[in-house]
Amino acid sequence: MSEKELVYDEIEVGREFDPPVLSLTDEAVKKYLQAVEDDSSIYQDQTAALDAAVGWPVAPPTTAAIFSRTSVLLQKEGKMPPGSIHARQEFQFVAPLRPGDVLTTKARVAEKFVRKDRKWMVIESTTVNQRGETVVIGRMTGIWPK
């Protein structure tokens, strides 16, 4: 990955970011659950998951959500400058995620604007699983640091 920083002025509306392909491994899900301290039984216990009709195993929907942000962070031609500020987030959780899923997130710049001397960017993303099924749709609004 290039060390060049992707600065605001060089990013055009409509720009599509390289879509990362990320494996939602058992380890990644466990690491995430530990980090957010989520003890929901449907992620830990097969009986609870089946009783809730979510299937087993199942992963938190927000694990794909993080990848929608990582899709912007991981770019071959440059990286997001440090210090970005996340101001607003929208998500639609379309279908359950499962350990073992391979997720591809496509993201594009939907809007750019300057307000009160700050550079704002709106990035829309769609995450699909290995079967091409949409699992998460996102829209992130934040301040680009440079």
C-beta atoms surrounding 22 within 10 Å = 20
Q: How far is the CB of 14 from another protein (least distance, A)?
A: 23
Q: CA 45 → CA 21, 29, 30, 31, 57, distances in Å? A: 28, 14, 13, 17, 9
Q: Does 110 bind another protein (CB under 8 A)?
A: no
Total site size for another protein, rule CB under 8 A: 44
What's the gap between Cα 129 and its chain centre? 13
Measured in degrees and rounded to the nearest 5, phi and psi for residue 65 equal -60, -40
Of 7, 56, 73, 104, the one binding another protein by CB under 8 A: 73
Rounded to whole angstroms, the Cα distance separating 83 from 100 reads: 32
Q: Does 61 bind another protein (CB under 8 A)?
A: yes
Site residues for another protein, 39-58, by CB under 8 A, read 40-42, 45, 48, 51-54, 58
Rounded to whole angstroms, the Cα distance separating 26 from 43 reads: 11
Candidate segments 11-19, 26-34, 101-109, 122-130, binder of another protein by CB under 8 A: 26-34
Q: How far is the CB of 67 from another protein (least distance, A)?
A: 8
- Nearer CB in complex with another protein: 12/145: 145
